[in-house]
């Protein structure tokens, strides 16, 4: 009887840990014109001046200048960069079909949004 109770307790603890970890897996990258929550979402991801990274609860983790903002055909490089940072969702004003295919191949969901970075994150989290 004690052994069964111990097994059930361990199972319950593992279940809670897995659920908590699953919520943390979401990492949102917002292509933005600036470094703050009120920055406007950029029209396109590849030439965006900054990427703002948020966790699965909407907390701003970091703001990074886009290292590929001036590169030619930057889409694939930007997606590699975002995947390397652990992004699972990228938000921008719009996306071309090529960059959407590259994002999908890397396990990143592309979401179109016009407004502020903060509002974009709220939209993404509400849709989950």
CB 23 within 8 A of CB 57: yes
Q: Could you tell me the pTM of the whole model? A: 0.81
Residue 7 confidence (pLDDT): 34
Q: Which residues of the chain have pLDDT under 50?
A: 3-23
Residue 2 confidence (pLDDT): 52
Residue 128 confidence (pLDDT): 78
Residue 28 confidence (pLDDT): 98
Nearest to 93 by CA among 116, 112, 79: 112
Please state, in angstroms and rounded to a whole number, the distance separating the CA atoms of residues 101 and 96.
9
Residue 15 confidence (pLDDT): 39
Please state, in angstroms and rounded to a whole number, the distance separating the CA atoms of residues 57 and 7.
31
Delineate the domains of the chain, giving CATH numbers in brackets. 26-126 (3.30.420.130)
Helices (H) and strands (E) in the chain, counts: 4, 5
Residue 98 confidence (pLDDT): 86
Positive or negative: CA dihedral 90, 59, 50, 41? positive
Residue 77 confidence (pLDDT): 94
| 82 to 1, 11, 60: CA distances (angstroms) | 50, 35, 15
Residue 73 confidence (pLDDT): 86
Edge-to-edge strand list for the sheet holding 27-32 = 60-65, 50-55, 27-32, 89-92, 109-112
């Amino acid at each position: 009887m004690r052994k069964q109770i111990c097994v059930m307790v361990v199972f319950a603890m593992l279940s809670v840990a897995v659920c908590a970890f699953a919520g943390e897996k979401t990492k949102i990258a917002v292509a933005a014109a600036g470094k703050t929550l009120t920055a406007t979402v950029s029209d396109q991801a590849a030439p965006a001046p900054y990427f703002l990274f948020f966790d699965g609860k909407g907390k701003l983790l970091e703001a990074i200048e886009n290292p590929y903002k001036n590169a030619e055909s930057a889409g694939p490089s930007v997606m590699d960069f975002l995947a390397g940072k652990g992004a699972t969702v990228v938000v921008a004003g719009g996306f071309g079909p090529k960059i959407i295919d590259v994002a999908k191949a890397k396990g990143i969901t592309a979401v179109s949004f016009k407004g502020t970075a903060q509002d974009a994150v709220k939209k993404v989290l509400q849709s989950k």
